[in-house]
Structure 1
Amino acid sequence: MKVGKEKAKSGKPHTTAEELILPAAKAIAFRMHGDKVVRNYAMIPLSNNTLKQQMEDMSDSVKNLIVKRMLKCESYSLQLDESKDISSCVALSTFIRYEFNGMISEDFLFYQSLPSHVTSESIFNSLDEFIIENEIRCSKCVQVNAFGVLVMSGKYSRYNTKCQMSTIAGSKEHAKKIEDDTEGGIENS
């Protein structure tokens, strides 16, 4: 897991550990301790799939921690950034600002690929899907800011209004769904 964390921090390809780190570690171990120690290195899980799974587990763990904090906070605001990557794929990055332990925290919430023909509806649906999937209370959302060239240019000017309306109207619908799915219900502010 330690190698997986260091690999994730480096931003290098998953195969780096398998193709570079492990052979180097084996060479050092052989030089210092001989063949017996090197055989133990074969048991270290550094395959591409293993590291990928470890990074996905770490990502899920962080997401779950932030969602738990969201559920406990009194209110939060969202920042949406719709952008294109180097291969012209469109994606939505969502950030959250909330109070936690008496301090304002700002965290990355989620990243979602969007269809090549982006509409305010597709942005809204991506956010709405995340909110429903994680049973987040919309009624706690006090502001939604949308950044990005297309949003700022006015192409999606109705997006903020749609999110704000959904926050007000949708909070009752989402709260009802969550209440129906849980035994104790939830408080709907």
Structure 2
Amino acid sequence: MIKRVTISDKALEASFKVAELIAKNMNSHVIGEKLIRPACLVMVETIRRINEMADDINDIVLEKIKNQKLFSLQIDESTDRTSKAQLLDFGRFVDNSNIVEQFLFCKELKSTTTGKDIFDVVNNFFEKSGLSLNYCCGVCTDGAPSITGKYKGFVTLAKIKNPAMIITHCFIHREALVAKTLGEKMLKVLNDAIKIVNYIKNIENKDS
């Protein structure tokens, strides 16, 4: 027999825990009705409004993309502080002759972080939103194997749906890779540049 916990059960458990905190702090029981209950209502109402605003913004962005049809994506998979894999997706599209970049979603990769997992999350989001990867003209990534893998990467699976899709490497990650590759050589050049600047400054100070 499976025991299912309802929202009312959780609400009752929460009320007991709040009552326990009030008792441990030796406050009057009426503080629950006078302060804690109104405070909880304010927090719930505020969070509800924030969620509604976020949904409204998301709907507006998706509607603009649908009107323009063509769009590009920037995808990045990262691990948060709780060691959970998060997939972030930004969309770029033209709006009134301006190139606009908007955050589309951040979704947790619940099991593994393979190219297929990433593709399924992205594809499901677009299908539910009424969009299609057929109109995606480009994808910008950090070059991770799960994204750009030749056989099972996200890019490979996405290009099956849209072979015309152009793949680019993020410029920020390129700079990071260059810095790692140059290493001590870059440091020596920078140190020499600092010495030259300091030397010129010393000469100017003496002349003045």
With the length of structure 1 as denominator, give the TM-score of the two structures. Answer: 0.59
SS of aligned partner of 1:160: helix
The one-letter code of the counterpart of 2:91 is I
By relative contact order (CA 8 Å, sep 6+), the higher-ranking structure is 1
Task: Say which one has the larger Rg.
Answer: 2
From 162, 170, 181, give the equivalent of 1:167: 162
The 1:153–1:90 alpha-carbon spacing in structure 2 relative to 1, beyond 3 Å, is: same
Could you say which residue in structure 2 is the equivalent of 1:76?
Answer: 71
Shift of 1:131: 0.7
Distance, in Å, in 1 between the alignment partners of 2:163 and 2:63 is 22
Could you say which residue in structure 1 is the equivalent of 2:133?
Answer: 138
Q: CA RMSD in A?
A: 2.9
Could you say which residue in structure 2 is the equivalent of 1:52?
Answer: 47
Could you say which residue in structure 2 is the equivalent of 1:9?
Answer: none
Q: Please, which moves more after superposition, 144-153 or 95-104?
A: 144-153
CA shift digits 1:56-99 (9 cap, x unpaired): 11110111011001101141101111110011110110001111
The one-letter code of the counterpart of 1:133 is K
Could you say which residue in structure 2 is the equivalent of 1:129?
Answer: 124
The 1:53–1:155 alpha-carbon spacing in structure 2 relative to 1, beyond 3 Å, is: farther
Distance, in Å, in 2 between the alignment partners of 1:97 and 1:128 is 17
From 80, 87, 92, give the equivalent of 1:92: 87
Could you say which residue in structure 1 is the equivalent of 2:102?
Answer: 107
SS of aligned partner of 2:162: helix
Distance, in Å, in 2 between the alignment partners of 1:124 and 1:149 is 14
SS of aligned partner of 2:81: coil
Distance, in Å, in 1 between the alignment partners of 2:161 and 2:40 is 46
Could you say which residue in structure 2 is the equivalent of 1:18?
Answer: none
Distance, in Å, in 2 between the alignment partners of 1:127 and 1:144 is 12
Unaligned runs of 5+ in 1: 1-41, 170-189
Distance, in Å, in 2 between the alignment partners of 1:139 and 1:160 is 13
CA contact 1:71–1:137 (8 Å) conserved in 2: no
Tell me how many residue pairs correspond in the alignment: 129
Between the aligned residues of both structures, percent identity stands at: 27
CA contact 1:78–1:141 (8 Å) conserved in 2: yes
Shift of 1:44: 9.5
The 1:116–1:43 alpha-carbon spacing in structure 2 relative to 1, beyond 3 Å, is: closer
The 1:75–1:105 alpha-carbon spacing in structure 2 relative to 1, beyond 3 Å, is: same
Distance, in Å, in 1 between the alignment partners of 2:108 and 2:38 is 36
Unaligned runs of 5+ in 2: 1-36, 165-208
CA shift digits 1:128-152 (9 cap, x unpaired): 1111101113322111223375547
